[in-house]
Amino acid sequence: MNTIYNPNPNEWGNILKRPTSTFDDVEETVKGIFKEVQQKGDQALFKYTSLFDGVTLESLEVTSEEIEQASNRISDELKQAICLAKNNIEKFHNSQKTSRLEVETTEGVLCWQEKRPIQKVGLYIPGGSAPLFSTVLMLAVPAKIAGCKEIILCTPPDKNGTINPAILFTAQLCGVNKIYKIGGIQAIAAMTLGTQSISKVYKIFGPGNQFVTIAKQYASQLGVAIDMPAGPSELLIYADETAIPSFVASDLLSQAEHGKDSQVILVTTSKKMLLEVEKEVENQLQVLPRKEIATIAIQNSKLLFVETDEEALALINEYGPEHFIICAKNEAYFVNNIENAGSIFIGNYTPESAGDYASGTNHTLPTNGYSKSYSGVNLDSFLKAMTFQKISEKGILNIGNAIEQMAEAEGLQAHKNAVTLRLNQLK
């Protein structure tokens, strides 16, 4: 890891730069695949699945037999763990339900807001070397609670043309049965444009690599909403002398093993802590099965020493981490003043892994500094807020003249007339 002492605030931008590609780097690839999917539909999906995933498929959709068989291919212990996590995630997201909000703004003018589900949503579940069945829970559970009518799930197949059984079991447990063996840019293109097999959706959810992230951003230019820009994983930990170095190192490595383009950062006011964490990272790294991946990610990562909590917090807010762990004596200061972070984990016994799996919060979070303006996935992500108003005769008399005056001042005579005609009828 790169160790930096007392970085100058003028250099924070360069120091905190993410190891990710820009849209320009892969723009032509993304647009080319989208164009081919638009023109050739399923044929293009089969082509790119063969090219990128190394498998020739006969069908894109997962069969009911495959879903049923998946349950027999995972242990009872894993099933119980998934069910526990699902229960906690349901509890947390059910608590986010809100009732109709109603107010009489003026006598006779009744306004209210109601939330309605997005009808068609697409869930992207990363596969590859780390099939994220936990992401199925994070997306399908709130989609079901919200009442989305059509839920499509896309995930890349392995070299045998199959989907990880834990993904299929979890999808079935959550009530999702439209599952397709497609990954990467082509999956996002299919859900954006629609093909012979796959319906076009109204909003796409789910994390992915840089190509998936940029494909989602391009999809948003074509009229399909996305949850947020959610690319390579990242974690920032603030740890002072009260932290436990082995715990801190384990959390850093838990994110580093996600992918070669992941980034982890330690910010500390303790030089002793910095050195101890650095040693622990090196020791724990040696025994990881995904050592090669984590090693490359660690090369993109930083150990930063600053003098004060205030300077640490300013740096953290500038970075805007996806995940933020606080292990500090002055815990309340960071909790109360953090402004930019996707999800926050507090104390020595709150590992980031808890949020990834089973505490109940959602792990689909904004990366690359987007926590400055985006929220993580929550129940409202799957809902639309619609406003209603009903005005009585008394109500239009009370606000009619104000509407007329404002419409006339803007030069919109028809707007004024729509009110004047009603007022004249009531005189």
CA gap 280, 249 in Å, rounded: 6
Amino acid at 38: Q
The 3-state DSSP class for residue 115 equals: strand
Q: Please, which residues bridge with residue 267 across strands?
A: 238, 304
Beta-strand ranges (E) seen in 339-382 are 343-346
Q: Is residue 93 marked as binding?
A: no
CA gap 260, 266 in Å, rounded: 18
Q: Is residue 261 marked as binding?
A: no
CA-to-CA dists, residue 86 to 112, 264, 300, angstroms: 33, 28, 34
Question: Which of the residues 276, 323, 352, 363 is marked catalytic?
Answer: 323
CA gap 191, 33 in Å, rounded: 13
Q: Is residue 186 marked as binding?
A: yes
Question: Which of the residues 322, 352, 393, 408 is marked catalytic?
Answer: 322
CB atoms within 10 A of CB 350: 17
Q: Is residue 258 marked as binding?
A: yes
User: In the annotation, is 404 catalytic?
Assistant: no
Beta-strand ranges (E) seen in 61-146 are 101-106, 109-117, 120-124
* Pure H helices in 41-73: 42-53, 64-70
Element (H, E) at 79: helix 76-94
Q: Is residue 233 marked as binding?
A: yes
User: In the annotation, is 318 catalytic?
Assistant: no
Q: Is residue 299 marked as binding?
A: no
Structure tokens of 206? 């789910």
CA gap 249, 139 in Å, rounded: 29
| Closest to 323 in 3D by CA, of 191, 232, 235 | 235
Q: Is residue 124 marked as binding?
A: yes
Catalytic residues: 322-323
Summarize the annotated binding site as residue ranges.
124, 186, 209, 233, 255, 258, 323, 356, 410, 415
Summarize the annotated binding site for substrate as residue ranges.
233, 255, 258, 323, 356, 410, 415
Summarize the annotated binding site for Zn(2+) as residue ranges.
255, 258, 356, 415
Summarize the annotated binding site for NAD(+) as residue ranges.
124, 186, 209
